[in-house]
Amino acid sequence: MAEQPRGPLTGVRVLDIATMLAAGHMTSLMADFGADVIHVELPGRGDSLRQMGPFKDGRSLRWAVVGRGKRSITADLHDERDQQRIRELASTADVVVENFRPGTVSRWGLDYERLSEANPGLIMVSITGYGQTGPKRHMPGFGRVLEAVSGLMNSTGDPNGPPTQIGVPLVDYIAGMNAAMATSMALVHRDKSGDGQQIDVSLYETMIRLLDALITRYGATGDVPTRAGNRYVNVAPSDVYRTRDDRYVFHSSATQTVFVRLAKAIGREDLLDDPRFATNAARTQRVDEVNDIVQAWFDRHDFDDVVSIMAANDVPIGPVNTMKEVAADEHLRERESLLELGGVLMPGVIPKFSLTPGAIRHAGPELGEHDEAVLSWLGIEVS
């Protein structure tokens, strides 16, 4: 891995006074692409992610990834002396990131209005559950909570079972990506105008934006979407199919061209002339029936034959891989989308830039590892 930053955000300084995953993912992405991220952690305890598994040899593997490329300093934001130090550091920063409930940073004298007095070009990113305004702004809101509140969880799971949460903290990761994107936009605007600004990122609204099709469907028809398991009401066939040797494969005929290829592959070209199945609009009126027709073909074929036949007919399918199979994927290894760093297998830097590709400088740092180096800028000796 490169020791020096070489991404498009090289030269951008980010002061991260937040904790946990959404903000942490945001600043991790920025660090990947060259930003100098200074992460402020509570003395003696650090970021809450340090106590979150999985663990190996007492080390949080999650922190190793989320903290990668960052510098760690310690400060107690409740302490007036440390608040002043953070204000001084913020005067040197391009971006400040916080994720406390609205009004909290104001009480500490670390709000945008105060910090921008000394640094008019400052961009401040505030990440909360419900946003800085509105009747729910003071409610606590973690990603899994917002997965439920947003309606996402109600659309996931078996139709005859309870709502099901997604297997990864999707809300936090998507909010972090949106925050990184918004910050990059604000940096472009500042380059043109010289003006900084505050960015209000709401986990709730992040998911509302993601669920646009479900929202517009309800607004237009009054239809409340229900859980459909692995089947998709807007595309048919679309399902997880079981092969004869008990492997699982996902296929979705997302376009009519793909369905034509599928019909040929499974020897059911008669479906193309049957008005009940000839178009996607017709097929979605018979979702169960068309998926069962396709499943009947999978019932008669082993996994290796399925892969071979579908490849020969240019039909997109995806085996439902375990993480063991993902970790062994030569495609990901060749593109350095999976790599080993500090003894930890982790995702590489994405997206891929041709001129400024970014790099991972190191895995998550030790708590307070950079206290002396960072505070020396301010002429402060670490006691």
Q: CA 375 to CA 233: how far, in whole Å? A: 57
Report, in this order, helix, strand and coil percent for the chain, each rounded to 5: 40, 15, 45
Neighbour tally for 158: CB within 10 Å: 12
Amino acid, single-letter form, for residue 275: P
Q: CA 266 to CA 295: how far, in whole Å? A: 10
Q: CA 23 to CA 238: how far, in whole Å? A: 35
- Which residues are known catalytic residues? 172
Q: CA 374 to CA 72: how far, in whole Å? A: 9
**Measuring CA to CA, which residue among 75, 80, 85 is closest to residue 42?**
75
Q: Which residues of 222-231 are buried (b: 16+ CB within 10 A; e: fewer)?
A: eeeeebbeeb
